[in-house]
Amino acid sequence: MKIYRVLFGLLLLMISFDAYSVLRIVTTTQDLAAFAEAVGGERVKVQSLTQGTRDPHFAAAKPSMIRKVFRADLLLVIGADMEIGWLPPLLQSARNARVQPGNPGYLDLSNSIALLGKSSGPVTRAMGDVHAKGNPHYWLDPANGIRMAQAIAARLGELDPSHKDEYQKRFNTFAQTMDKKLQSWQASLAHLKHKPFIAYHTSFVYLADAFGFLIVDEVEPKPGIAPSAASLSALVSRIDNNEIGLLIIEPYYERRSSRYLNEKTGIRVVVLPQSVGARPDINSYIDLFDAIVAALNDTGGK
């Protein structure tokens, strides 16, 4: 019996060692997971609840997601209502006090960002379905990416103070790499400055801000509202009159409307990856912008 007791003791030790040596981070998107991995290194185990191939406004809560949230030490969310349709019931079912809003294990990254598209007046359904608290697609500005990684490094340092310097050091390396890359991305997209584009959804306003092009309209008449025949024909005249040469769209939206606009006006349609994981070759935040820059340059800048 003694040997069993020793083995049991060893097992407990291994479990507790695992529990205290690695922070279990759960993220709502793969972009957040990429930041957590960049600043957490081998001190963290990161799992994303959704895949970058899907529209992050919508997700179906699955038992496997509840299990992940149940075990998490830290939950990272985009916030600004991005996950409003699916995260609250998941948090309730997971019954994990560590990661409830207001506790140190819950980090809403939208609090580190100056959001675009914030309404000063009352929020109504007439503004569309999904952006009532401001535009939540803020990770598509590389400067915001640095802010997000910084906020995550700071929180990791609070949850795991003995490795605080390590998280800060990894963040510094990430920020330095980003600064260098940003210069080359900006040089590579300089020819798009002040060019008018349209987007399917209002996802790319932060990207446009970062690189100096303009998004003058969207295919969706309101965020989250599908286009109608009337709204599409109004767009046809707008594209013709303003010589808008490019329509950018995320991989997960329907293509019928953009095909129609292309047939009627000749506008070029570029499918732009919007998240880490949107394509199998996009595994980091730097990969994401490399892919975005390459896709935009594929158009010849028209």
Residues forming the site for Zn ion (CB under 5 A):
130
- Name 110's Cβ contacts closer than 8 Å, sequence gap at least 6: 78, 79, 80, 82, 134, 136, 138
Contact between 200 and 226 under an 8 Å Cβ cutoff? The reply is: no
Compute φ and ψ for 104, nearest 5 degrees. Answer: -60, -20
For the bound state, the minimum distance from the C-beta of residue 67 to Zn ion, rounded and expressed in Å, comes to 28
For the bound state, the minimum distance from the C-beta of residue 136 to Zn ion, rounded and expressed in Å, comes to 6
Q: How far apart are CA 80 and CA 263, in angstroms?
A: 36
Contact between 293 and 188 under an 8 Å Cβ cutoff? The reply is: yes
Residue 71 or 222: which CB sits closer to Zn ion?
222
Residue 175 or 272: which CB sits closer to Zn ion?
272
**CA 107 vs CA 20, 153, 169, 289: distances in Å:** 20, 11, 20, 24
Residue 72 or 77: which CB sits closer to Zn ion?
77
Residue 138 or 174: which CB sits closer to Zn ion?
138
For the bound state, the minimum distance from the C-beta of residue 199 to Zn ion, rounded and expressed in Å, comes to 10
Query: What is the number of alpha carbons within 13 Å of residue 147 lying toward its C-beta?
Result: 16
For the bound state, the minimum distance from the C-beta of residue 134 to Zn ion, rounded and expressed in Å, comes to 11
For the bound state, the minimum distance from the C-beta of residue 146 to Zn ion, rounded and expressed in Å, comes to 22
Residue 76 or 130: which CB sits closer to Zn ion?
130
Contact between 129 and 150 under an 8 Å Cβ cutoff? The reply is: no
Contact between 80 and 139 under an 8 Å Cβ cutoff? The reply is: no
Q: Taking CB positions, which residue lies at the least distance from Zn ion?
A: 130
**CA 300 vs CA 18, 28, 120, 246: distances in Å:** 51, 35, 39, 10
For the bound state, the minimum distance from the C-beta of residue 137 to Zn ion, rounded and expressed in Å, comes to 6
Residue 41 or 117: which CB sits closer to Zn ion?
117
